[in-house]
Every structure is written in C-alpha cells, then in structure tokens.
C-alpha cells in the first residue's frame, strides 16, 4: 500500500499537466480558427470548447485508468515478488532448521556411540582387573596352602625325627642280673633281687605325665621301656600314655 501511494500521486500530477496542455491547445485552436474565418458564431465556439473539454476529460479518465492499472500491476508484481521472497526465506529457514536438526541428531548419535564404547572399554578393563585379582588371589591361596602343607610335613617329620632320636638316645637299660648276695654265715641263701630290674629299667627316664612323654615323642610307652610307670598306665594293660580306645571307652591318660 505504501508503494502504491507514490505511484498514484505521480499519475495524478502527469494527468493534470496533460489536461492543462490539452486545454491550452484547444484555446489556441479556437483563436486561430476565429482569425481565419472572421467573425464566427458564438454558438460554434461554445460547442467547440465544450467538445474540447469533453475530449480532455475523456483523455484524463483514460490516463487515470491507465496509471491506476499500471499502479495495480506494479503493486501486484511487488506483492508477488514479496511473496516469492517470503516463501524463499521460509524454505531457506526450513532447510536450515532441518540441517541443524540432522546435525544435532548426528552429533547425539556420535556422542551415544562414544559413551557406549567408553562403557564397554571400562567394563572390559574392570573384568580384566577382576580376573587378574582373582588369579593373584588363587596364586596366593595356592602358595599359602603349599606352605601350610610343607610346614605340616616338616613338623610331622620333625616329630618323627625327635621321637626316633629320643628312642635312640634313651636306650633301655638292660636289667642287671641278680648278683648273689654275699654269703653270710648266718644266711647261706642269697636275697631275691628280681623286683629291682624293672625299677632300674624304667628309672633311667622319668616323665612327669603323658603330656611330657608325648612332647618328647616317647608315647605310647610299653612296659619295660624307659619312662614307663604304672601311674601312667591307667588301665594296667602294660601300655602307658596310649591313645583313646573306642571299645573300652577309656581316654588316654593326660
């Protein structure tokens, strides 16, 4: 509408100028006609002037319509151009928005893939670390069990060696044969000394209790072996500091 107003004003100005020129030409024509013909009737001059004005008005109307039509066509052209520009701008904006959306979606996809890859790498690293820790723990447990087994075997061997050494060191004293007592005049027969032999055999080694005998590796102690005492033989079967007996229900003497 703003573009149309200047166009209409210009058309009106041009039309006014044309009308003035046309009126001036008509007046000049009338003057020249009067001079050439002499005295013309007044009615003829009036008709010619009237026709001239009518022709001028017709030309004015045609010019106005022409200018208005041109203005309308120009306004229509500008409106169409503006519409095309608006549609082009809208299409460009839509294309831009679509491209930005695609770029954002692609960036989000790459981000998710990167996060997924990082999580997978972390999971694998944790699994590898756990496997390594488990492997080390199993190796430590295996080593510890081996050390325990070796220590137990060494202890058993040591106990066995101690028992063997103790048995070797403590050799049972042979009971001395009874020596005939000096013959006295009043007693021709020697005094019996049979009971002294076990006392000498067991008296060479003394264990306070079965715990001491076991600590020395001597248990069980059979009758006649060094360290045997009836006090250590609770059931009187000739074996002192023997292990637990299930049948008789007796425990070894402590």
The pLDDT of residue 110 is above 90: yes
Q: Which helix (H) or strand (E) holds 173?
A: none
Residue 251: per-residue pLDDT: 46
Q: Report how far apart the first and last C-alpha atoms of the chain are (Å, whole number).
A: 127
Residue 118: per-residue pLDDT: 97
Report the alpha-carbon angle 52-55-61, nearest 5. 140
pTM: predicted TM-score of the whole model, two decimal places: 0.29
The pLDDT of residue 109 is above 50: yes
Instruction: Provide the CA 209 distance to its chain's centre, in angstroms.
Output: 67
Task: Assess contact for 14 and 67: CB atoms under 8 A.
Answer: yes
Task: Assess contact for 205 and 221: CB atoms under 8 A.
Answer: no
The pLDDT of residue 6 is above 60: no
| 10, two tokens | 């210009």
Give the tens place of pLDDT for each residue, 145-204.
999 899 988 888 888 788 887 776 655 555 555 555 554 555 555 544 333 334 444 446
Mean pLDDT of 84-100: 96
Please give the Cα distance from 81 to 78 (Å, whole number): 5
Please give the Cα distance from 14 to 63 (Å, whole number): 9
Nearest alpha-carbon partner for 67 in 130, 150, 5, 137 = 5
Please give the Cα distance from 152 to 150 (Å, whole number): 5
Please give the Cα distance from 7 to 5 (Å, whole number): 5
């Amino acid at each position: 509408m703003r573009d149309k107003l200047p166009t209409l004003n210009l058309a009106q100005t041009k039309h006014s100028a044309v009308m003035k020129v046309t009126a001036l030409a008509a007046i000049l024509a009338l003057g020249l006609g009067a001079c050439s013909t002499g005295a013309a009737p007044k009615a003829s001059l009036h008709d010619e002037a009237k026709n001239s004005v009518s022709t001028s008005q017709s030309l004015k109307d045609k010019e106005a319509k022409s200018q208005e039509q041109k203005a309308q066509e120009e306004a229509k052209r500008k409106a169409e151009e503006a519409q095309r520009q608006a549609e082009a701008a809208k299409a460009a904006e839509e294309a831009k928005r679509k491209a930005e959306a695609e770029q954002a979606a692609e960036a989000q996809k790459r981000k998710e893939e990167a996060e997924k890859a990082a999580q997978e790498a972390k999971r694998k690293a944790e699994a590898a670390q756990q496997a390594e820790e488990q492997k080390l723990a199993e190796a430590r447990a295996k080593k510890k069990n081996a050390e325990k087994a070796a220590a137990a075997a060494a202890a058993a061997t040591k106990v066995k060696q101690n028992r063997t050494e103790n048995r070797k060191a403590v050799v049972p004293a042979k009971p001395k044969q009874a020596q005939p007592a000096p013959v006295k005049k009043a007693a021709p027969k020697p005094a019996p000394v049979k009971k002294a032999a076990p006392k000498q055999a067991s008296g060479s080694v003394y264990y306070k209790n079965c715990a001491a005998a076991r600590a020395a590796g001597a248990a069980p102690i059979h009758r006649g072996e060094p360290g045997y005492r009836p006090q250590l033989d609770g059931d009187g079967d000739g074996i002192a500091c023997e292990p637990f007996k299930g049948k008789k229900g007796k425990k070894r003497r402590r």
